[in-house]
Amino acid sequence: MHNLAAQLLLSTALVSATVVMHLIGLGVLRRLVRLHLERFLLFVHLDRVIVPMGVVLGLFVVHGSEIWLYALTYWAMGLTDSLEEALFISTSSYSTIGEAAGLLPANWRLVGVLEGVNGMLLIGWSTAFLFQLLDHIMSDDEEVQAQKGAIARRRRTKR
């Protein structure tokens, strides 16, 4: 019980860092999609393949960075024997498989469980982002703009 405060403090710091990383990552992806659609529009049907593939790969980079943050923390704290083990535990926890959180020392396993909750929320956030993007990209009506949110902000009208 004496380690509970340290686990909660570490988990709070890691969750905060990953949320900031996620905000930045989704913002970069949103800007890249917008840039592509405004300046490098190929053929509509080709863009319906290229843009989602690029976004999915970008999401893998964002989530991978967040997983590596946890893994490097576990490894730097000496909670695992190797970086590979830390990466395995982090990936398993983050993806909410969750079985690997039990591989952390008993006095730090709460961090692994909270990583699972964090991963579930961030993956859900990415899923919403991807669905909104696909809805926008796949729309046949060129006049339809994405709702205010992850893909596009509502344009201000001049008065």
Q: What is the pLDDT of residues 3-18, one digit of tens each?
A: 999 999 999 999 999 9
Q: Is residue 36 part of a domain?
A: yes
Place of tokens 């490098």: 40
Q: For 78-91, give one letter per residue: b (16+ CB within 10 A) or e.
A: ebbeeeebbbebbb
Average pLDDT over residues 115-124: 96
Domain annotation covers residue 52: yes
For residue 33, tell me if it sits in a domain. yes
Taking only the tens place, the pLDDT of each residue in 59-83 is 999 999 999 999 999 999 999 999 9
> The domain containing residue 105 runs over which residues?
4-8+15-138
Looking at residue 152, its pLDDT comes to 53
Which element (helix H / strand E) includes 30? helix 4-39
**CB contact set of 123 (below 8 Å; sequence gap of 6+):** 63, 95, 96
Question: Phi first, then psi: what are they for 78, rounded to 5°?
Answer: 75, 25
In a domain, 146, yes or no: no
How does pLDDT run across 11-37, given as a tens digit for each residue? 999 999 999 999 999 999 999 988 887
Domain count, the chain: 1
Q: Is residue 143 part of a domain?
A: no
25 assigned to some structural domain: yes
